[in-house]
Amino acid sequence: MGIFNFLSKQFIEIIEWLDDSRDTLVWRFDHANNEIKYGAKLIVRESQAAIFINEGQLADVYGPGTHTLVTQNMPILSTLKGWKYGFESPFKAEVYFVNTKTFTNWKWGTKNPITLRDPEIGPVRVRAFGTYSVRISDPAKFVKELVGTNNQFRAEDVADNLRNLIITRFTDIIGESKIPVLDMAGNVNEFSNYIKEKISHDFDQYGVEVVKVLVENISLPPEIEAMLDKRSSMGILGNLDQYTKFQAANAIEKAADNPAGGIAAGMGVGMGFGIGNQMVNSMASNTAPNNPPPVPPPLQFFVAINGQQQGPFNISQLAQMATNGQVNRNSLVWMQGMSNWTPAGQVQALNSIFAAVPPPLPPM
């Protein structure tokens, strides 16, 4: 009786897994050479699955719940072992527990820069990083494809492989998108959804479901970012006059808070205005066009001939009319800008047309 009691204690009566880690994906129930008692209890908790393997062959898979291990509940294992109905002896089998919860905040990122031909900047290298979430959707496939005979399988054992799949797809997507680098920040959500869609098939072959992919940042090399910062600064300081006034207002406010330093602050304000004006004038002179101003239009005069207004005539036409005797120094003329009709001889601009015209002959 004593020997029988000793042997009976070697049979496994309860099979369960209480996971105290955060990164274990698969754990093999360790029972050495002990046999599982017929009618033993298999306890599978929420976010777990249990897989029985017999001599390297995948057998039955159990979901959450408490299962009594009898031939009726182990159809595949019963077939593999060739059990007849009513078999009640202890048996041996490997039991793997699979963690089916969602694993979040796994990191991904480009190890090396991705070279792109940007339509605005030209050839440029970018880096990207983010996070993703996965869960084991097909425990049997996952154990078959990745776990093998390992007695424990952790996140780090598969994370590198999954991360490389994401990076490969991201490289293809970002290269084919043709989106300018400066506009990529506004499309990270679209990139995230597109990557998830593209890699779902790749993950599915391992029994893994991609729950979410997030692109958190797409960055340029530090030297390119520094140049963009300078370019942005020049855009902000485009109106130096307003910037100078803003700085002066800040100085006045500080001076009001510190009366003892009011004189020095006032001098600072004056110097600020002076320097600002010099900069504005310097930029204005440097940016002024080198082309001459447009040629002014020719002068146009109206002439009173025989009591009738005629014209307008330019200087050349009036000179010809003076030569023909149609216009003389006493002829009344008017042009835009003059308040009244005036004799032509009193208009300085018309003196030249009478220089070659002899005065009238004196009376006999």
Q: Are residues 110 and 84 both part of a single domain?
A: no
Domain assignment present for residue 290? The answer is no
Question: Looking at the structure, do residues 86 and 111 belong to the same domain, yes or no?
Answer: no
- Both 85 and 107 in one domain: the answer is no
From 99, 134, 166, give the residue that closes a domain: 99
Q: Kindly state whether residues 135 and 71 are assigned to the same domain.
A: no
Residue 251: inside a domain, yes or no?
no
If asked whether residues 91 and 108 sit together in one domain, one would say: no
> How many distinct structural domains can be found in the chain?
3
Residue type at 43 in one-letter notation? I
Q: Containing domain of residue 213, as a range?
A: 103-220
Q: Are residues 91 and 127 in the same domain?
A: no
pLDDT in tens, 139-163: 999 998 888 777 888 888 888 888 8
Is the pLDDT at 95 greater than 80? The verdict is yes
Non-local CB neighbours of 81 within 8 Å, separated by 6+ positions? 54, 91
Task: Tell me the mean pLDDT in the region 28-47.
Answer: 86
Structure tokens that stand for 53 in this block:
């393997």
| Of residues 94, 95, 92, the one with CA closest to residue 34 | 92
> Do 137 and 192 sit in the same domain of this protein?
yes
> Are 163 and 59 part of one and the same domain?
no
pTM for the model:
0.57
Least confident residue range of 173-187, 305-319, 335-349: 173-187
Q: What is the mean pLDDT of the chain?
A: 79
Among candidate residues 207, 167, 209, the one with its CA nearest the CA of residue 191: 167
Q: Where are the beta strands (DSSP E) in 137-274?
A: 152-154, 208-219
Please check whether residues 83 and 111 belong to one and the same domain: no
279 in a domain, yes or no? no
Are residues 111 and 170 located together in one domain of the fold? yes
- Taking only Cα atoms into account, the Rg of the chain, rounded to an integer number of angstroms, comes to 47
Task: Give residue 99's pLDDT band: very low, low, confident or very high (50, 70, 90).
Answer: very high
| Residue ending a domain, choose from 61, 83, 99 | 99
Q: Are 94 and 160 found together in one domain?
A: no
The helix or strand, by DSSP H or E, that contains position 226, with its residue range, turns out to be helix 222-236
- Residue 302: enclosing H or E segment and its boundaries? strand 301-305
Q: Is 245 contained in some domain?
A: no
CA atoms within 13 A on the CB side of 187: 13
Domain assignment present for residue 321? The answer is yes
Distance (Å, whole) CA 287 – CA 130: 46
CB-based contacts of 118, cutoff 8 Å, min separation 6: 124, 180, 181
In a domain, residue 234? The reply is no
Spatial CA neighbour of 218 closest among 195, 198, 191 = 191
**Which of 197, 208, 201 lies closest to 173 in space, CA to CA?**
197
CB 145 within 8 Å of CB 206: yes
63 & 124 share domain: no
**DSSP state, 162?**
H
Q: Are 12 and 36 in contact (CB under 8 A)?
A: yes
Cα distance between residue 186 and residue 181, in whole Å = 10
Read off the pLDDT of residues 224-255 as tens digits, 9 standing for 90 and up: 777 776 666 666 555 556 666 666 776 776 66
Residue 131 lies in a domain: yes
Residue ending a domain, among 46, 73, 99, is 99
Sign of CA dihedral 69, 70, 73, 74: positive
**Is the predicted pLDDT of residue 130 greater than 80, yes or no?**
yes
Reported as a single tens digit per residue, the pLDDT across 168-205 is 888 888 777 777 877 777 778 888 888 888 888 889 99
2: confidence class by pLDDT, cuts 50, 70, 90: very low
Residue 250 belongs to some domain of the structure: no
Contact 118, 180 (CB under 8 A): yes
Provide the sign of the torsion angle of the four alpha carbons 109, 115, 116, 118, taken in this order. positive
CATH assignment at residue 146: 3.30.479.30
